[in-house]
Structure 1
Amino acid sequence: MVAQLHRAPSGERLRAIDEFLGMAYADLVTHDSRMRGTAVEARFDRGVAHLTGDVTDAAELRMVRDLVGRLDGVLAVWSQVRVAGREPVIVDLGCGAAKQYPDNLGLDLRVAPGVDAQADLSGPLPLATDSVDVVFTVHILEHLIDFLTLVDEIHRVLRPGGVLHVMSPWWGHVNAVADPTHVRLLDVQTIKHMCDRHPGAPRWYPLHAGCDGASIFADLTPLGPADPGPERGHLARFFD
């Protein structure tokens, strides 16, 4: 039963899902008064929503991404949106030659086209505290013996309201075990435990989490020591 539930969708189905999501977003903009006048466009690629455009403040961006994340079939909400005219600072960790967006700041241990600076992801990141709006870790965490050290560093460098995007092979898919450089297996429940660690550990709020049968996705925003955590109903959207 689990294998059937999490079977990766075919390319044809993914294209149909993206077409549906495009229509659903158009309906959202047309009929939801909160979205009228918002200068944000959404493109859907294999269930991931890519947001571009402009918002007046961080609260408007949070609203848009929350509403888009509620559309059935959305696995993650990735954003390049300008806030009050400011371009977001986006960092791609372990990007190699495959940045998620061409203008991202690419950090990798090895020099390659698209890598802007060398960095060992098992140690401190060469980035200032509260200096980054978005961090991508796409097919990175599964390669690290202690990926929580990196996650804690990302918490440090993200600005309040910033977002960490995680994408990793799902443990139940052959891709998770076929690569001998993978040293960790991940599940959506792994994200739950990342957000609920021991007292004193950096805290995260899960904006979104999902699995398409091949990969897991998560969008996380850092919480401060005094910030309230997510409500049980919100966690129940994503986790057992």
Structure 2
Amino acid sequence: MSPLSQERLRKRDRFLDQAVREMWKYDERLRGLDVEVRFDRGVAHLTGEVDSTAQLRTARDLVGRLDGVLGVWDRVRVDGRDPVVLDLGCGAQKQYPGNFGVDLYRTPEVDVLADVSSGLPFADASVDRVFLVHILEHLIDFLPLVDEVHRILRPDGVAFVLSPWWQYVNAVADPTHVRMLDVQTIKGICRRPGSRRLWYPLHAACDGASIFAELQPLADESEYPDEAELSRFFD
């Protein structure tokens, strides 16, 4: 798999913009929802406000089904409440204004100083969204962090993962990268032998350069998807 060119990604974004406009126009499940969708290199960014988490889930699911969508990221108000969104290892850049930046080193974007490899200073089920953008590949053992994210997310929360694909040169060109990821790694994260931390894969994709995934914490084994549903993303 070769990485998609920037020109192709731009053209794909234009196609997806049109597809979403038509979907909002003709799909009764979306009509009237105050959600704006913007595409950036195949990633859908949802902002706006909805009345319920069910409405947001519907919007996310339908956008994610469009051919060519690599990820569905959102920062949407639900029932009049702003979401609590963390950017872990944000450095000097947050994914959305208003997110809480968390990092080991102080920058203007960091709101909470913490070593994310040693636990997260947040209460159980207190966070709506967590961004793990270019962070897992820097940790020798990232599973404790993944478990911590599971702990702090609310039941309808989502973790957004973005990491270099193991076969792309950027995965090995950076000497601070100590772990390599594939889409199948995401499947392994969702259900690990001996772990009670289960994840529902809302979306997973690879563009030849990066791995994208959105994961929702599960509380019970009975909620885990069957193999037919998993086959949408994984071997």
User: Which interval holds the TM-score relative to the shorter structure?
Assistant: over 0.9
The answer to whether 1:126 aligns with 2:115 is no
> Could you tell me how far 1:200 is from its partner in structure 2?
3.7
2:192 to 182, 192, 197: 197
In the TM superposition, what whole-angstrom CA distance separates every residue of 1:196-216 from its partner, at most 9, and x where no partner exists?
211443000000000011100
1:98 to 73, 93, 97: 93
Any gaps of 5 or more consecutive residues in structure 2? none
The answer to whether 1:109 aligns with 2:104 is yes
User: In 1, distance between residues paired with 2:221 and 2:181?
Assistant: 29
- SS of alignment partner, residue 161 of structure 2: strand
> Could you tell me how far 1:31 is from its partner in structure 2?
1.1
Across the aligned residues of Structure 1 and Structure 2, the Cα RMSD in angstroms comes to 0.9
- Alignment-mate amino acid for residue 206 of structure 2: C
The answer to whether 1:181 aligns with 2:176 is yes
User: In 2, distance between residues paired with 1:144 and 1:191?
Assistant: 15
How many residues align? The count is: 235
Runs of 4+ in 1 over 4 A off after TM superposition: none
In the TM superposition, what whole-angstrom CA distance separates every residue of 1:29-84 from its partner, at most 9, and x where no partner exists?
11111111111110000000000111111111111100000000101100011100
The answer to whether 1:24 aligns with 2:2 is no
The answer to whether 1:220 aligns with 2:215 is yes
1:157 to 149, 152, 155: 152
User: In 2, distance between residues paired with 1:60 and 1:196?
Assistant: 27
User: In 2, distance between residues paired with 1:231 and 1:73?
Assistant: 24
> Could you tell me how far 1:123 is from its partner in structure 2?
1.1
Residue in structure 1 matched with residue 28 of structure 2 by the alignment:
33
- Alignment-mate amino acid for residue 157 of structure 1: I
TM-score (ref. length: structure 2): 0.98
TM-score (ref. length: structure 1): 0.96
> Could you tell me how far 1:109 is from its partner in structure 2?
0.6
2:41 to 11, 27, 46: 46
Q: Please say if residues 198 and 221 of structure 2, whose CA atoms lie closer than 8 Å, have aligned partners that are also in contact.
A: no
Which has the larger displacement, 155-164 or 199-208?
Answer: 199-208
Structure 1 residues 57-72: aligned runs within 5 Å: 57-72=52-67
Q: Please say if residues 191 and 197 of structure 2, whose CA atoms lie closer than 8 Å, have aligned partners that are also in contact.
A: no
The answer to whether 1:232 aligns with 2:227 is yes
Any gaps of 5 or more consecutive residues in structure 1? 1-5
> Could you tell me how far 1:227 is from its partner in structure 2?
4.5
User: In 2, distance between residues paired with 1:46 and 1:31?
Assistant: 25
- SS of alignment partner, residue 99 of structure 1: coil
> Could you tell me how far 1:231 is from its partner in structure 2?
2.5
User: In 2, distance between residues paired with 1:67 and 1:126?
Assistant: 34
